[in-house]
Amino acid sequence: MGKERRNWDPVPAFDLVGKVMQEFGLSRGRESRAVFRAWGAIVPEPLVQHVHASAFRGGKLTIQVTSASLLEELRCFRGPELLRLLNAELGSQTGGGVPLVRRIDFRSK
């Protein structure tokens, strides 16, 4: 009897790193869920039906807005306030640290 031979298929290192990061809760998905949860917590009640967080990547949160007038209001006047509130909420959720969101990009639906 000879040694048992295993035929392992090669796996790209990128896939292995991604799998390990998910197992330890370090994936981008976890970060996105935290940002979306925080966004839901800080959005004022009158805006809930008109804004929707659609993507988070590279520190930029993309928000879909239902009307052009609200889009302009958010871009010109309320954006910095919402960014500050969002990072404060994220800080309370994660126990402080560096803000995760550097920019909010408002777009029309």
**pLDDT at position 107, please?**
97
- Ranges 14-18, 21-25, 32-36, most confident: 32-36
**pLDDT at position 26, please?**
53
What fold characterizes domain 13-108? GMP Synthetase; Chain A, domain 3 (3.30.300)
- Taking only the tens place, the pLDDT of each residue in 49-92 is 999 999 999 899 999 999 999 999 999 999 999 999 999 999 88
Domain boundaries, the chain: 13-108
Question: Backbone dihedral region of 103: left (phi > 0), alpha (psi from -120 to 50 degrees) or beta?
Answer: beta
What is the rounded distance in angstroms from the CA atom of residue 39 to the CA atom of residue 52? 9
SS3 71: helix
Q: Which two tokens stand for residue 69?
A: 């007038």
**Phi, psi (degrees; rounded to nearest 5) at 7:** -110, 85
pLDDT band of 16, cuts 50, 70, 90 = low
- Count how many Cα atoms sit within 13 Å of the Cα of residue 69 in the half-sphere of its side chain: 1
Place of tokens 């010109």: 76
Say if pTM beats, i.e. exceeds, 0.95.
no
Percent of the chain with pLDDT over 70: 73
